[in-house]
Every structure is written in C-alpha cells, then in structure tokens.
Amino acid sequence: MTTTHIFNVEMTCEGCSGAVERVLNRLKGQGVEDISISLPEQKVSVKSTLSADDLLEIIKKTGKKTTYVGAQ
C-alpha cells in the first residue's frame, strides 16, 4: 500500500534539501514513488510503500535531524 509520509527535517540551505532528495531518489522504483521537499517549512513528503521507520533511517543518513510527523 502506498502512503504519503511527512517528516520534519532540519534543512538550512539548498545543499541540505539536495542531500535529502539524493538519498530518496536512489530508492525511486524500489518503494519510493514521489518526493516533495519544502525548504522554508523544513518538511519532506515521501509517497512510498516503505515503512515510516525505513524512510526515517534513510533520511537520517544525511546527518540532518529528522522527526516523523505522520501519514496522509
């Protein structure tokens, strides 16, 4: 089942959001369908069949402080 998961990610610049986008783009076709990043709101939405915990660990690999907000 595909779910849209929302995360708060500490991003201060385009480089930060780019790092998050790169790690998630690697999983396109392997569970990640769509990614939406709002730098001003410091929010990342991921439409995926992967669990929230899996996505949280993947985003944390960027070194950014990340918390799970919920699913839509």
Tell me the average confidence (pLDDT) per consecutive run of 10 residues in the chain, 72 residues long.
96 96 96 97 98 97 96 92
pLDDT value at residue 17: 96
Using only the alpha carbons of the chain, give its radius of gyration. 11
**Residue 67 neighbours by CB under 8 Å, 6+ apart:** 7, 8
Q: Is the pTM of this model over 0.85?
A: yes
Map out the domains of the chain with their CATH numbers.
Answer: 3-71 (3.30.70.100)
**pLDDT in the model for residue 72:** 87
